[in-house]
Amino acid sequence: MSDPQGLTRRRALRTGAATFAGMIIVARSAHAQSPSPAHAELLQRLAAGRTPQQGRVRVRMPEIAENGSTVPITVTVESPMTAENHVKTLLVVSDGNPRPEVFSATLTPAAGKAEISTRIRVARTMNVIAYADMSDGTLWAGQTVATVTIGGCGS
Amino acid sequence: MSTVRVRLPSPIKRNEAFEVRTLITHEMESGQRRDAQGAVIPRKILNRFVATFNGQPVLAMDLAPAISANPYISFYMVAADSGALALAWTDDDGTVIRETVRVTVT
């Protein structure tokens, strides 16, 4: 026996799931966006003409954050953090907040390990990108997509 | 007045990186919000965080309004000897909130 109500519910669920999948695809494709002028300016101040290479920098955030007003973030850079070879500056920017800058950290070999965690505001689902300027003159980048269900702009 | 909490692991091993976890109470008013009358609530954040161990810089951070209220910041440091870890947060109004914790290595 078919149950029209159940079918409707099933269809609604299927449609909902498809819509959700579509949202994820849209969010992931945000990767391809070029940075905003404000973001590009912050990057240029650090890069001074260099183009960042992808790698060595890892940005970790929860896959889906319910409350955008306080979303945990951990940024790690692969580096021995010795006097000869260490991270000098770690710049973190987002492309979905009213202003792109999140923080800029100056590290020294006394840090021992290049990892910083904090909690940030995420206005909407957006890319969060970290750039690491190394003592050997190389510049590295890593990023993640921060997905929120409730934006953190009003708090 | 802000309250500061700092957590260190125990024990801390000489010349081995360990995590310092800090928490400070502060509204971190972003300057993006409006009050009931529609007027912009002025920005008031902690804009800088500095960690120094025995007078040597470990970490300095410029903080943006994107940092959440009651900022949590954790970082790593390595110590060859025991000493004093000095932490300082600078408010937009110029106030500096300082905290010093004793680091004892084994």
Q: Extract the residue ranges of chain B whose pLDDT is less than 70.
A: none
Residues 29-48 of B with CB under 8 A from A: 30, 32-33
Tokens read off for B79: 């110590």
Length of chain A: 155
- pLDDT < 70 stretches in chain A: 1-33, 153-155
- pLDDT the model gives residue A2: 45
A127/A69 same-domain check: yes
CA distance B106 to chain A (A): 17
> Is residue A134 a part of any domain in this protein?
yes
Best of B23, B49, B59, B89 to substitute, by most chain A Cβ atoms within 10 angstroms, is B59
Q: What was the pLDDT predicted at A10?
A: 58
Check A119 against B71: CB less than 8 A apart.
Answer: yes
Shared domain for A42 and A60, answered yes or no, is yes
pLDDT for A14: 57
Residue-number span of the structural domain to which A13 is assigned: 1-32
Residues of A with CB under 8 A from a CB of B: 69-71, 81, 94, 97-99, 101-108, 110-121, 152-155
The dihedral built from the CA positions of residue A110, A114, A115 and A118, taken in this order, carries a sign that is positive
Domain assignment of residue A155, yes or no: no
Q: What pLDDT is recorded for position A7?
A: 54
The domain tally of chain A equals 2
- Give the range of the structural domain holding residue B39, as residue numbers without chain letter: 4-103
Are A128 and A140 within one domain? Answer: yes
Percent of chain B with pLDDT over 90: 97
pLDDT the model gives residue A13: 55
- Looking at the fold, whether A18 and A70 belong to one and the same domain comes out as no
**Residue whose C-alpha is closest to residue B20's, from B75, B80, B57:** B75
Residues A67 and A129 in one domain: yes
State the ipTM, two decimals.
Answer: 0.96
Measured between beta carbons, which residues in chain B are less than 8 angstroms from residue A105?
A: 59-62
Tell whether A4 and A48 lie within a shared domain: no
Q: What is the pLDDT of residue A29?
A: 44
Q: What is the CATH number of the domain that holds B96?
A: 2.60.40.10
Q: Mutate one of B19, B75, B87 to test the A interface: name it (highest A CB count within 10 A).
A: B75
**Contacts A–B by Cβ distance under 8 A:** 100
Residue A25: per-residue pLDDT: 46
How many domains is chain B built from? 1
The B4-7 sheet, strands edge to edge: A57-60, A71-77, A115-120, B72-77, B18-24, B4-7
For residues A6 and A62, membership in a common domain is answered with no
Residue A99 lies in a domain: yes
